[in-house]
Amino acid sequence: MGTSIEVDGLHKRFGGTKALDGMTFTVSPGRVTGFVGPNGAGKSTTMRVVLGLDTPDAGTALVGGRRYATLPRPLGWVGALLDAAAPQPGRSARNHLLWLAHSQGLGRRRVDEVLDLVGLAGAARRKTGGYSLGMRQRLGIAAALLGDPPVLMFDEPFNGMDPQGIVWMRGFLRSLADDDRTVLVSSHLMSELQDTADHLLIVGRGRLIADTSTAALLAAAAGDRVRLRTSAAAAAATALERAGGTVVLTGPQALTISGVPAAEVVAILGAAGVPFAEVAAEQVSLERAYLDLTSDAVEYAARPGAAPPGSGAGPAVDGAHAKDAVR
Ligand SMILES: Nc1ncnc2c1ncn2[C@@H]1O[C@H](COP(=O)(O)OP(=O)(O)OP(=O)(O)O)[C@@H](O)[C@H]1O
């Protein structure tokens, strides 16, 4: 059976800043879970609490039912990439990993395995000071994998990756989930997680906004609207309204219909002999759905109509609270 991460009612303040405000969720094995939210939403703090690096003011964070500090050989349970600063610029990647492996009682073989897994075998003997940010991310991931843990947490792993690196990372995350591992990946950009995350935890202002499968979020955001292009707009509207649809004219030959699925629109128009050029279920991007959900939770947002940068006006602070969790 896989190992879950359970976060329950975490609260954490840094001085006057409320970093976590009741953060609660469970991360399950066998899928890639995206941990997304605007800057300052509390993603890194949550991960740090799970790893015992920050102490919460209230609440619990458990891995496999235990606090990180009480896990026997914790690196065999949880591997994490938190920030990809060069470990010791003068040391090679291989030496860095050998040193880490040694501290965990692991041998050279595992070091070479993980270097290979992350695509760094060819650069393993180069000093990490000369590594690009993308290479440092790979090295951080190699270190996280050393103990072959069932739980992996990566904080913004796409940072600094070039397009090939991003494609590689997506496939890599998928392979870890296919191995029945628990994979939690944070990002402040939903687009990075598109086609990668099966499940999404969307957070803002220190709490959960939505806990949803990616497919369900897209389906809910798309609603049931259908776009229609026809040279017989009036006849189409009559036929579709008679079938219970709500029709809005959006252009001379363009209609938007709600309440009737696309396949039925086609059947109704066909039966009524109304010609049409296009019928399409409205597509909503994941990015749009995410921006709609988190619009109230962005810490620093330009107010519509606010003065442009350089005019002396500072960023507008949106004082609204995060929306209630949608489960
Ligand atoms: N050590 C700290 N001292 C003071 N404030 C902190 C500290 N760590 C985090 N914060 C504050 O807590 C809030 C949550 O920060 P956190 O880094 O967890 O957010 P995040 O979602 O990871 O953001 P980002 O996407 O920018 O990394 C922010 O307002 C941040 O400034």
Domains defined for the chain, CATH in brackets: 5-77+149-219 (3.40.50.300), 224-281 (3.30.70)
The residue nearest atom 7 of ligand 1, judged by CA position, is 14
Quote the CA–CA distance of 128 and 110 in Å, as a whole number.
19
Integer Cα distance of 106 and 280 in angstroms: 56
Distances, alpha carbon 213 to alpha carbons 197, 286, 325, in Å: 9, 11, 14
**pLDDT at 88 (0 to 100):** 78
8 pLDDT more than 80? yes
Pairing of strands 31-36, 199-204: parallel
Checking if the pLDDT of 154 tops 50, the result is yes
Band (pLDDT 50/70/90 cuts) for residue 39 is confident
- Interface confidence (ipTM) of the complex: 0.96
The band of 218, judged by pLDDT with boundaries at 50, 70 and 90, is confident
Please report which helix (H) or strand (E) contains residue 143, including its range. Answer: helix 133-145
Closest-lying ligand 1 atom to the alpha carbon of residue 48: 18
CA distance linking residue 128 with residue 134, whole number of Å: 12
Average pLDDT in the chain: 85
Give the closest residue (by CA) to ligand 1 atom 18.
42
For the residues 71-83, what does the mean pLDDT come to? 89
Phi and psi dihedrals of 187, rounded to 5?
-160, 150
Residue 87 has pLDDT above 50, yes or no: yes
**What residue owns the CA closest to ligand 1's atom 12?**
19
- Give residue 60's pLDDT band: very low, low, confident or very high (50, 70, 90): very high
CA distance 187 to 154: 9
Ligand 1 environment, Cβ below 6 A: 14, 17, 19, 37, 39-45, 188
**Which residue from 11, 14, 46, 54 has its CB within 8 A of the most atoms of ligand 1, so it is best to mutate?**
14
The most confident of the ranges 74-83, 157-166, 227-236 is 227-236
Burial class (CB in 10 A: 0-12, 13-18, 19+), 269: buried
Per-residue pLDDT tens for 260-311? 989 999 999 999 999 999 999 887 777 878 888 887 766 544 444 443 333 3
Confidence (pLDDT) at 107: 86
Report helix, strand or coil for 171. Answer: helix
CA distance 24 to 10: 7
Q: Whose CA is nearest to atom 6 of ligand 1?
A: 14
